[in-house]
Chains A and B, each alone.
Chain A
Amino acid sequence: MRAIEEDDRDVASFPGQRPPRASVGSHRIEEEIFGKAYDPKTVRRIWAFVRPYRLKIYLSVAAVLVFTATQLAIPLIIGRAIDSGMTQGGNSTNLLWAVATFAVVVVINYAASWIQESQVGQVAENVLFDMRRAMFAQLQRVSLSFMDKTEVGRLMSRLQGDVNSMQEFLETSVISVGDMVLLVGIVVVLLTLDFRLGLLTLSTMPILFIVRIFWLPPAKRAFWAAHETNSITAGAMAEGINGVRTVQNLDRQRVNFDLFDDKAYNNLLTQLTGSRFAQVMVPIVDSLTGIAMAIVVVVGGSLVLNGGLEIGVIVAFLFYIQRFFDPIRSLTMQYSIMQRAMTSGRRITEVLDIPASINDKPDAIALTRDMDGSVEFRDVVFGYSADRPVLKNVSFKVNPGETVALVGPTGSGKTSAMSLVHRFYEVQSGAVLVGGHDVRDVTQQSLGEQVAMVLQEPFLFTGSVFDNIRYNKASATREDVIAAAKAVGAHDFITRLPGGYDGMLEQRGSNLSLGQRQLLSFARALVADAKILVLDEATANIDSYTERQIQKALLTLLEGRTGMVIAHRLATIRGADRIIVLQNGELIETGNHDQLMEKGGLYAKLYNMNYASFDDIPDELVAQANARAAST
């Protein structure tokens, strides 16, 4: 009998508890969502996006004003109609005039509302797309060290969520201009209709402000919590989707469901609190409306009694009071939309302002196809953080047309070194030269065109095989693509795919085997037709036979080009002219295979472990290697 020992995975044995080492989602608390409602710097930046459409904005503000004026005029006209001749046996010409005026005003109202809403709606959509494009374009330029630290989901939420709340703000802000005008207009109308009654009615206003002063701080906090827990839940959900294969593989569904439930339930509670705060204002505003109406009826009524007021004025007053609190209500709402928009605006500008820490110099030169193709590292020091160097004083030169191999234990800095050739990151000191030029002196565009890379982690796009291999090399023909696929031995399996070269790849190429993905990413680098080819473990997931075929094909393809090859399987690098051995960020030896074997250093040891004999590797050899590779 075989017992599965210490399987403490069973959640059932810890009823209701959460495992100590588990979480879903990776949300870090963001900065305060409800910041200042007005931030001039952000506004200026946002305005820059609105500016191109300013004529439309002016037009719609004008339309809003007209619209508001008609809204104001309508009750006035009705009051007038009632007062002038609307008594038994009154004058029907007056009525006719009043109705005609009403009709004209309504038509204007219709036109104005149409213009305003459609213009604003369109501008808001345009601005949204412009902002998104600006951010997207900026993200194409920011340094990879920023991108490494930032999750895709986080950026996506800026490209989508934040941009959407800006849109909401733009759509409503023009309307709130109207609301403000309406409010002022109503105040003016009330005061001119009857000053005393107007003043009395407006005296209810301060109560609202006092209430708001007490309401605002806790309400803000509640809204913030609701927003925050919502994005936490969304983040956990996205993680669950992206990592679903691993979740199933490690049988984490139950634990994750419970953890997710915790977050979602917490979100439910905060949302409910938020609703409570939002809704509590409703009866307050309604009560104030009631008080104002009661005042008009009592005071207005007795004024009528004294003959100091016409009935029409009372009717108009009652109309306006009902209108009066609508704009207040929507302005209150607008206030929180504005706060949210300011925060979103700030986050959008943050993305736009991420320094593209790697920039072309103004006088940067463009590398061309006929540069010599040499690569040189001069005393390069590099680290992802300033205090932890990954490469320490590395110097070497790859001559034009040479193929050089980089080997070393895992984590020794091979991939990092190749990233520098492409200037993904800046060196801390020293210099990397390509074609005799410091990479900082050439344009990044031309560098990308002259250095083709097969990355350690193959990445494919959703789309056809053909589009993936060709990628951005628009000049590549179908023949070029097929030739590259043949060179890497991918042609056979591609033709067997449903659709062949036009067969569709799913997300990240998930309908291919990893080796096949690697072959396609290899073919993509060949089609790029660059002077320098960097292969980072390009054949790690490929069998030696296929690899050998590729190497043969490369012999002709690499004619006149420089190659840099990283590999763990030492057979992969047999064709290399020179081998550079990296360990722990330091270049410890270099030479060709025979020289290195003779030297008996790390390379010889690695090589021996791999191939010398298939017997157990003696422990002392392992110990030696251990001692040297202790920090990897």
Chain B
Amino acid sequence: MTTDKAGRVHSRGDARAHVAAAHAGKGRGPLTRIALYSLRHPWQAAAAIGATIIASVLQLLIPRLLGHAVDQAQGILDAGADGAEQALFWSAMTLLGVSVARGFFTLVQNYYSESVGHHVGYELRLAFYDKVQRLSYSYHDKVHTGDLITVGLLDLDGLRMFFATGLVRVVLLSVLIGVGAYMLLTTDIVLALLALSFVPFVAWRSSVAQLTLRATWLTLQQKLSALSRVMEENLGGIRVVRAFSGADFELAKFDHASKEALALAHERVHVRVRNTSFMTFSFFFAMGLVLWAGGNKVIAGEMSVGTLASFLTFMTILQMPVRQLGLMVNSFARASTCGDRFYAFLDQPLAISDAPGAPELKVTEGTLRFEDVRFSYEGATHPTLDGVSFEARAGQTIGIVGAPGSGKSTLAHLIPRFYDVSGGRITIDGQDVSKVSLQSLRRAVAVVQQDSFLFTTTIENNIAYGDPWAKETKIEKAAESAQLHNYIMGLPAGYDTVVGERGVSLSGGQRQRLSIARSLVLRPAVMVFDDSTAAIDAGTEHRIRSAIRRYASDRVTLVISHRLSSLLHADTILFLEGGQIVEQGSHEELLAQGGRYRALYDLQTRPTEDIEIGSAAQ
């Protein structure tokens, strides 16, 4: 439980419950699902709907009262002033009272329907965020971040507002039109039918428009995504654009995407305008009919002027809801498209999650084993790892070398289960990594990734990212080991310096060292350095390595590197090629073997001689 600024108690348990509830109702249509979900706030929803009904009934009373007042005035004129002022005064007071009450209930209606929307928005947002964090690498590999952001912002908004702009409006409009129709029908059937003659037209038009709007919404959203992708990648890759003077090229891409989106946006305006204009027109048409027929009735003495006036007032009151019908249609169309996409995202099965009742990983010896591990990426034609087996004990360092694409990073990503193996298994102290809880596994394994992602926050927070409770001394120690402390202390704001997005204000090597420091704060049983010193000079790297060695005694360290001097102290070096280990042994053993490793070594140590790796390997 925490207390927020407003002093309210907010329970964390609720947050989890909201997430669970958002997942309920799989398989139902998006509109049903969001409607049911909105009803999780039964009191607020009931208040909103109840107030809507009362407010609209009151709204219908007003023309009655007005008609009554007009009749009274007429009566005064006809019959003289006996007690008339009194009567007028009372009808004025009723009018006032009803107006005030209507205002109050409209307030309740609007506030609570918005409130339901805000609550739903808050809860769905939590569910969305939670899902994003749970979906595995393989999902995020395929889906553009911009598209996800659209789902989390725009689609969620469309759903959130459905209660207020869709459901409550349905109630409002049905009451207004339903009760109103009843009242009119009981007054004068013919006139009432004329007054309501616009309803079927409007209903028909709305459903047509709903379908068209839905379709345009869907494609428009796609076009806009494409457009924002162009913009986002342009800004993210601005250095490439500049380096190649690609501005014109990028503008052409932008124009292409933009033109398509613009055409659709126009189309949408058209559909909408055609719809609302038609609705208004058919409404006025009905009003004209009432005027004509009603007028004739008055002339024929079949109806009082007051009744006609209340008929017409009733219709003016309907004018607003009729316009709103268009909005309601739009809201339905929007909520159903947005809902389709939002729920499709939420219902996504998790490729990687805890098996039910998965035990914690218990690290005892700290032995990592790969047993005939196979792995292919989805849709790939070749396996990326093809029968990899090795064992590493605590205190040991395993070096991994291999050409780009030979599967080194993939191997590293399998240990903390960023992907699941397609065959064989990986164990830590005999426990299959896919059988233990993800949290315990990921805490036991730290991977310094090949391309380091930094967050826009202070250097200190970046280093403490994996352990935000870490003490200052621990953070400094990690920075020292990563040979970054001196640099940081030289900055005007020291550890409080904010690093730019993805660390743009740092040099390549500084970024890598920051991400090394980030992992050094942790105390994992298995630590992987994935080519994480590539942009660091040999001197600095050496210092980092000797600093790290202090920690390494009780854990397995995997070092992936293209620089063989980094692997020199490894107990075993694995040479990967095409997803298979083709050579394995200590540095000396591999040199003595005279194979591929030897050839690589020669290339790096005797740069001026021409060494043919192909022939050496044979």
Contact = CB atoms under 8 A, between A and B. Distances in A.
B550 interface: no
Contacts of A87: 298-299, 305
A255 to B, nearest CB: 6
A144 B403 contact: no
A328 interface: no
Interface stretch (B25-33, B34-42, B174-182, B597-605): B597-605
B103 A282 contact: yes
B107 interface: yes
B568 A315 contact: no
Contacts of B519: 250
B85 interface: yes
A548 B535 contact: no
Q: Which one of A269, A283, A498 has the highest number of Cβ atoms from chain B below 10 Å of its Cβ? A: A283
A293 B92 contact: yes
Interface in B539-562: 539-540, 542-543, 554, 562
Interface stretch (B183-191, B210-218, B270-278): B270-278
Interface string B87-101: 011011101111110
Contacts of A452: 243-244
A55 interface: no
Interface string B229-242: 10111111111111
B468 to A, nearest CB: 3
A275 B240 contact: no
Main DSSP-derived SS at the A contact region: helix
Interface in B1-40: 1-2, 4-6, 8, 10, 12, 15
A390 to B, nearest CB: 9
A125 B464 CA distance: 46
A264 B489 CA distance: 35
Interface stretch (A178-186, A216-224, A609-617): A609-617
B507 A282 contact: no
A126 B363 CA distance: 62
Contact of A251 (B149, B461, B466, B470): B466
Given A21-B464, A88-B298, A543-B401, A2 B365 contact: yes
Given A152-B236, A272-B118, A511-B141, A611 B565 contact: yes
Contact of B235 (A155, A251, A287, A318): A155
A318 B313 contact: yes
A82 B403 contact: no
A246 B536 contact: no
Interface stretch (B165-173, B200-208, B247-255, B333-341): B247-255
A86 B305 contact: yes
A427 interface: no
Interface string A605-630: 11001110010010000100110011
Interface in A4-33: 4-9, 14, 16, 19-23, 26
A610 B536 CA distance: 12
Given A82-B309, A261-B12, A290 B301 contact: no
Contacts of B128: 237
A239 interface: yes
A518 to B, nearest CB: 7
Given A311-B73, A571-B603, A461 B486 contact: no
A311 B305 contact: yes
A152 B255 CA distance: 20
A591 to B, nearest CB: 16
Interface in B461-480: 461, 464-471, 474-475
B251 A424 contact: no
A304 B563 CA distance: 102
B575 to A, nearest CB: 10
A177 interface: no
B540 A632 contact: yes
B422 interface: no
A534 to B, nearest CB: 8
A411 B507 contact: yes
Contact of A8 (B110, B119, B312, B469): B469
B235 A240 contact: no
B246 to A, nearest CB: 4
Contact of B122 (A267, A424, A542): A267
B193 interface: no
Contacts of B1: 16
A16 B13 CA distance: 11
Contacts of B246: 448, 471-472
A126 to B, nearest CB: 7
Given A2-B394, A472-B246, A515 B126 contact: no
A10 B371 CA distance: 31
Interface residues of B, number: 213
B122 A90 contact: no
A109 B283 CA distance: 12
Contacts of B447: 249
B234 to A, nearest CB: 8
Nearest to A546: B403
Contacts of B500: 148-149, 151
Main DSSP-derived SS at the B contact region: helix
Interface residues of A, number: 205
B584 interface: no
Nearest to A293: B95
Q: Which one of A237, A286, A473 has the highest number of Cβ atoms from chain B below 10 Å of its Cβ? A: A286
A472 B237 CA distance: 14
B443 A251 contact: yes
Given A114-B273, A248-B418, A251-B439, A315 B404 contact: no
Nearest to B10: A265
Contacts of B111: 275-276, 279
A287 B12 contact: no
Contacts of A109: 280-281, 284
A300 B145 CA distance: 65
Nearest to B264: A125
Contacts of A129: 258, 261-262, 265
Interface in B503-536: 504-505, 507-510, 513, 518-519, 522-523, 525, 531, 534-536
A472 B248 contact: yes
Q: Which one of A121, A261, A471 has the highest number of Cβ atoms from chain B below 10 Å of its Cβ? A: A261
Given A5-B523, A140-B247, A322-B316, A22 B365 contact: no
Q: Which one of B15, B291, B312, B522 has the highest number of Cβ atoms from chain A below 10 Å of its Cβ? A: B291
Interface string B422-452: 0000000000000000010011101101110
B251 A136 contact: yes
Contacts of B401: 543
A369 interface: no
Interface string A120-156: 0110011001001100110111001001110110011
A495 B613 CA distance: 22
Contact of B539 (A256, A280, A622): A622
A513 B404 contact: yes
B522 A237 contact: no
Given A148-B500, A293-B66, A301 B73 contact: yes
B358 interface: no
B386 interface: no
A280 B466 CA distance: 46
Nearest to B489: A631
Contact of A543 (B404, B471, B611): B404
Contact of B543 (A9, A246, A453, A626): A626
B129 A9 contact: no
Given A261-B12, A261-B126, A456-B535, A6 B85 contact: no
Contacts of B449: 245-246, 249
Contacts of B324: none
B604 A571 contact: yes
A268 B119 contact: yes
Contacts of A240: 129, 132-133
A133 B126 contact: no
Interface in A530-554: 537, 540-546, 548
Given A81-B291, A515-B404, 11 more contacts: A2-B364, A21-B469, A86-B308, A245-B418, A252-B466, A256-B129, A457-B451, A471-B244, A472-B246, A513-B404, A622-B542
